[in-house]
A and B are shown apart, each in its own frame.
Chain A
């Protein structure tokens, strides 16, 4: 049984479809690349899954449930923007996550923060944009969630930071969990992907394992992506 099921999922923004009748299954224990150019519907799909948007039509089921408190308890979400209150300290955020998520590992979070040299006593407003992103990543990856949704986690960061982020993701998710990574920087993540989903104009145009894609097309996922989405 798929961990996440999308059936005829449609989302309209002022009658313009951002997603158009998506049917897709994401199995457990896989790293899935949600790939597509800007405006293809990647973020909308993730936001519908984590409950930040309401579908116009169709359904999303996570572990058998529609988005709600039960699914949010097993879903870790890293948005493409900072969602943390500027007045709170890093340690207050660690406590916040520990308060609400039973799968959150406080020690793991402090360990990761210490490895990054981030002082937990500092308030968010005193941190640089990059450091805030790292704190957010640490908080999300310190959970033992069933599914992680990472929206553009490596966009807008330098190559060294990209490596750190990807290594953090790979090292910290549990093997039974699924990781859905949305990005258009495919070459950076291709070697960690189990599956790839290509989105264009709110529709799935390809969903297969990375190995199958390479075998069938004779190209890397990155090369195929460049070919399919050539302007």
Chain B
């Protein structure tokens, strides 16, 4: 039955989101083509900067639209009049909730993937094109070559740390995909007995607490950064001479290792907080729909 519930939840989300993806990817393809075709370096950079803001808007639009669609589906299908049908289907109430959370996570993941592809296409085109334009005297090709070299030198000897960091990023992405649908379900479940402005109350709690969590994460990140930098300073890792950036392998490697340590700790803390909120939201929402449901 969970599969059947998910089929209809997926159908609901599929009404609009694929069109947004097509629009976003078409925009990205146009940008990529522009970067590859244009020959004048100044015009190219002007175009890149102008498109950058439009890009951010397009990626945000996809992200916001998928979140809003997911929230509308959860609220309407479970806690508005439609809930009268949803909760009289011969399925466990918990499966109704799980279907929404799994479907929300799948669409969040798809939206994220589309956003990455949208960003990756023009970046790849620019990376290909810019070194070829160094001959025009802009020097950007040299800059990119220098950055790539520094990364390859700096990451040498830190492979294990890099793998752990990448694995944590993947885990955080997975947790993030479940976070929004689980937490919003929790907000709806908690407020479903409110008689007036129920939707407003659930969205209000969702936005308020999400911003609160965001603020908390920022504070934690800043504290870890300061502490990490302090440790790096006292151990001498941060004392890199300008020439070391290019030439000194050991200094650069130590610096990259230190940065990876700090970012890994940040990811672990952020991931743990998000995972905890996701799991607690899921458990509480499940308990409410299974044991305390009261559709007024």
Contact = CB atoms under 8 A, between A and B. Distances in A.
Given A54-B294, A100-B1, A77 B88 contact: yes
A164 interface: no
B4 interface: yes
Nearest to A149: B88
Please report whether the interface of chain A is mostly helix, strand, loop or mixed according to DSSP. loop
Contacts of A77: 84, 88
User: Size class of A's contact patch?
Assistant: 20 to 34
A68 B87 CA distance: 9
B88 A52 contact: yes
Contact of A85 (B4, B77, B89): B77
A29 interface: no
A52 B82 contact: no
Contacts of B295: 47, 52-53
A87 B12 CA distance: 9
A84 B85 contact: yes
Contact of B8 (A51, A70, A96): A96
Contact of A51 (B1, B4, B87, B292): B87
A136 to B, nearest CB: 9
A101 interface: yes
Nearest to A103: B90
A75 B84 CA distance: 13
Given A85-B77, A96-B8, A100-B1, A51 B88 contact: yes
B39 interface: no
Nearest to B84: A83
A50 B77 CA distance: 17
B90 A101 contact: yes
A82 B76 CA distance: 13
Q: Which of B15, B82, B294 has the most CB of A within 10 A?
A: B294
Given A83-B81, A84-B85, A85-B76, A100 B293 contact: no
Interface in B111-129: none
Interface in A31-52: 47, 50-52
B82 A84 contact: yes
A100 B96 CA distance: 13
B149 interface: no
B42 to A, nearest CB: 49
A68 B92 contact: yes
B293 A52 contact: yes
A72 interface: yes
B82 A85 contact: yes
A53 B294 contact: yes
Contacts of A99: 4, 7
A19 B134 CA distance: 81
A100 B292 contact: no
B96 to A, nearest CB: 11
A193 to B, nearest CB: 24
B84 A52 contact: yes
A218 interface: no
Contacts of A72: 88-91
Contacts of B76: 85
A81 interface: yes
Contacts of B12: 85, 87
A117 interface: no
A83 B77 CA distance: 9
Contacts of A96: 8
Contacts of B7: 99
Interface of A: 47, 50-54, 68-70, 72-73, 75, 77, 79, 81-85, 87, 96, 99-101
15 contacts: A51-B87, A51-B93, A53-B293, A54-B293, A68-B92, A69-B91, A69-B92, A72-B91, A83-B82, A84-B85, A85-B12, A85-B82, A87-B15, A100-B90, A101-B90
Interface of B: 1, 4, 7-8, 12, 15, 76-77, 81-85, 87-93, 291-295
6 closest Cβ pairs, A-B complex: A73-B90, A83-B84, A83-B85, A72-B90, A52-B295, A79-B84
